Amino acid sequence: NRPLISIVVPVFNVAEFLKELILSIQNQEVDFEYEVIFVDDGSSDGSRFVLQQFTKKMYRASNVKIISKEKNAGIAEARNTGIAAANGQYIMHLDSDDFLVDNTLYLIGAALQDQQPDCLAVDGNMWWWYNSIWHQKCELFPPKKLLALNTDVMAMYIREEKFYAWKYIVKAEIAKQHLFYTGRVFEDVTTLPMLIIHCETLYYYPLAVINYRQREGSTSKKRDFKNLAAMSDATHLLMQELQQHYQDELPQEMRLPCAGFCIKQFVWCCLDALKNSEVNYKQLHHYLKDNFIKNTKIFDKEKRIKFSSLRTLKSLEKELNVRKLDIYKFYFSYHYGWLYF
């Protein structure tokens, strides 16, 4: 019988966290078949040995696969390798430094079997090493309601801005056709919206499924030029992909949510750059602004938003889903970035 869920776990130099992850999967009480696929992406810290030792005890999983790669090719390539090897009806992603909350896999399976959505959206806990937890919920999706994925729901999705691979459990036939973008950082920002957009139905289950470990050493926490430029590039590529999907005309209901998303990404990159004295801020600001201008030609083709007017931006606060403080930050970062040179 085909497993209900394939759990794909990319692994790279996280030996210290693997035991906790594996035990969190093993201890789940379920009444359906599932499989776990670990993709060791060229680890050099003993991660492969830990996998081999502890997965022997995972008696509840109907099938455990360990795929070993000699060279590190990046998390997107590792996820794609796992997706290709998956036999389950649904694909679920876990990062190797995270771990499942007790007794949640059973509830995920029940929701999938009962509702049979193309995509199941769940919650997670932001988890810090000192055991501080914050339950990150979706604010806009109506809970426990099967939604037809039209442009209104996609607008909600963009406004939510929660582009985490673990958050969306998707039918395998859809996931296999829309793989992760490889060779870039922040691949989730571009991949996940374009994956969700090809689903016909979405069901939001407000259940904290994983503890999402917050680590300062992780790629997403780095504030160097390369990383901040990569975030800007990922945002721009997403806008291009959305434009192409909708045949060069972004739906009206998605334009302001996309504008708000781009504004917040611009502010995030600018302010993070100021926290790193080694970043060439003048060069980065020019790069970020150039990408933002390209994006405006997609979400504001008619030039209805006056970015030179603080009053106009403030009047659109609710529609943009941007806090007033962030509107001020954007306005002064965008127009007076030279003050930081």
Domains and CATH numbers, the chain: 5-213 (3.90.550.10), 222-340 (no CATH)
Per-residue tokens: 225: 């030029």
Q: What is the pLDDT of residue 216?
A: 63
Q: What is the pLDDT of residue 221?
A: 62
What is the distance between the alpha carbons of residues 99 and 208, in angstroms, rounded to a whole number? 11
Residue 286: how many CA atoms within 13 Å on its side-chain side? 5
What parts of the chain have a pLDDT lower than 70? 58-62, 129-133, 215-221, 338-341
Of 56, 44, 58, nearest to 15 by C-alpha is 44
Single-letter code of the amino acid located at 64: V
Q: What is the pLDDT of residue 218?
A: 58
Q: What is the pLDDT of residue 63?
A: 85
Q: What is the pLDDT of residue 113?
A: 98
Q: What is the pLDDT of residue 222?
A: 72
Of 7, 35, 189, 216, nearest to 93 by C-alpha is 7
Per-residue tokens: 206: 């407000």
Q: What is the pTM of this model?
A: 0.92
Per-residue tokens: 154: 């996609």
